[in-house]
Chains A and B, each alone.
Chain A
């Protein structure tokens, strides 16, 4: 009955398993609790603002002038953020997917194996460094090419943000393209399709859910990015519908103004308010993107 003896001894193992599972459970719970606390903290700190400042004036106000006459209009910041983000997406998505297709489908092995790690390393450049590089390269470039009096514009921000999101978009899109089973490529080629037809009719559509996830993650980086846009978009909280004018994003507003506020004051609370809005916007973007990605994944 030796095996029965062994069986009895495994009580320690049961205990160990119990400990490990509880440990993992607690870790999981902590991360959720922390997330909840962040949300609670945002709401708590912005409560003063939302209870004393008319919500309609906040959401539709066209002037952000917190120190002079305590106007907290959200529209200029929203427009600034959207302009910069939209421009960045417009640049980054075609470029990123193009590079991913090149690396994944067309590049010779050696090129692929050197290019991909290099691109992934680009993602680790701190945003303040990129902002500084942008200040010295992109800003004068935009200024000269459009003969502006100042190069700190939404377009400059878009360009730098596009470059910041490119490594994410390229790397994840390329993973998705790589994951397309070779059998599909062979089937397409065997039906008489050429390489290009196979790529855009079979490979890219099959990888589309992954590519979409890549774009969404890139978008997340773009919307949340603070330092670089603070440095090069000019920080002018006015509503302008031009890429060649200075704008100010939600993130840059918080970063720029938080240091000058009175803790607990209306301005302080207002900054938490726009932080809360930013949080909700990014949360909703990710949430819908996630559901969309899942839906496509189910089809494939």
Chain B
């Protein structure tokens, strides 16, 4: 495993209006690694993961403090092009959200936004992305049917393929399997594991077994008192977090004593 640092978070804080929800997070995320973010409901895991592609920009009155750098560039500097950032940092959401278009058009949507491709090139991108997302064999004969006819698990893999099609380097996943059945979840997990060869993956999950199964690094966020922002309690190798956590609070959480 390479130890190249892909993302650096330094003294990061996040405000909804005047309310501080995340405070003082500092962590380095390694390239080609799956990093899991765990923590109880409402502790700001989703808010945190949306930091990396600046989806929080959409929230009125939100404010970011500290520094988040991707490949050495602070993405919260004024001159950063959000479109370029979001090409580099793709996102898969909790609920599968394919566009009400054909499977083909779903995949081609991103590439078409960013460049003019020939038909052959586009077909190649679509096939390639679907293959990488382990969906090609299931849909190759019905590329031009509506994506909403796919099952939930297939839709979620389609959403992953959609991200792969724009050549993202980092993939953010916000509880990607929480609305899926166990078999679909298994397929998504296998896929995530394969993808780490070429991508840096950050995954928010509720499910601690899932974090333990698929990630190499785990970060544990926790709001200790109501009205206080959540903090990063512990960040370490997943093995260590789940077998020998360095913090009592982490141990309590992963052994299911609260949360």
Contacts and interface: CB of A to CB of B under 8 A. Distances in A.
Contact of B113 (A193, A205, A206): A193
Interface of B: 53, 55, 58, 83-84, 86-87, 90-91, 93, 95, 97-101, 109-110, 113-114, 146, 148, 159, 162-163, 166
Given A190-B90, A190-B91, A192-B87, A184 B99 contact: yes
Name, among B53, B99, B148, B162, the residue most crowded by chain A CB atoms within 10 Å (CB to CB): B99
Contacts of A202: 99
B17 to A, nearest CB: 14
A181 B97 contact: yes
Interface string A263-300: 00000000000000000000000000000000000011
Given A189-B86, A190-B90, A183 B97 contact: yes
Contacts of A194: 83
Contacts of A201: 109
The size class of the interface chain A forms with chain B is: 10 to 19
Nearest to B100: A300
A300 B148 contact: yes
A247 to B, nearest CB: 41
A181 B110 CA distance: 19
Given A186-B91, A193-B109, A197-B113, 9 more contacts: A186-B93, A190-B163, A191-B163, A192-B83, A192-B113, A202-B99, A205-B100, A205-B101, A300-B100
19 contacts: A183-B93, A184-B100, A187-B93, A187-B98, A187-B99, A188-B99, A189-B58, A190-B90, A190-B91, A190-B163, A191-B113, A191-B163, A192-B87, A192-B110, A206-B99, A206-B100, A299-B100, A300-B100, A300-B148
Contact of B97 (A184, A193, A197, A299): A184
Interface in A237-268: none
A199 to B, nearest CB: 13
Interface in A191-233: 191-194, 197, 201-202, 205-206
A191 B108 CA distance: 11
Contacts of A193: 83, 109, 113
Interface in A146-204: 181, 183-184, 186-194, 197, 201-202
9 nearest A-B residue pairs (beta carbon): A183-B97, A190-B91, A192-B86, A191-B110, A300-B100, A192-B87, A187-B97, A192-B83, A193-B113
Contacts of B90: 190-191
A187 B160 CA distance: 11
Name, among A183, A190, A193, the residue most crowded by chain B CB atoms within 10 Å (CB to CB): A190
Given A206-B99, A299-B146, A300-B100, A187 B159 contact: yes
B243 to A, nearest CB: 35
B99 A192 contact: no
A186 B97 contact: yes
B169 to A, nearest CB: 13
B100 A190 contact: no
Nearest to B148: A300
A201 B114 CA distance: 14
B205 to A, nearest CB: 19
A218 B166 CA distance: 41
A116 B90 CA distance: 35
Contacts of B91: 186, 190
Contacts of A190: 53, 55, 86, 90-91, 93, 163
Contacts of A299: 100, 146
Given A187-B97, A299-B146, A192 B166 contact: yes
A201 B113 CA distance: 10
A183 B113 contact: no
A28 to B, nearest CB: 33
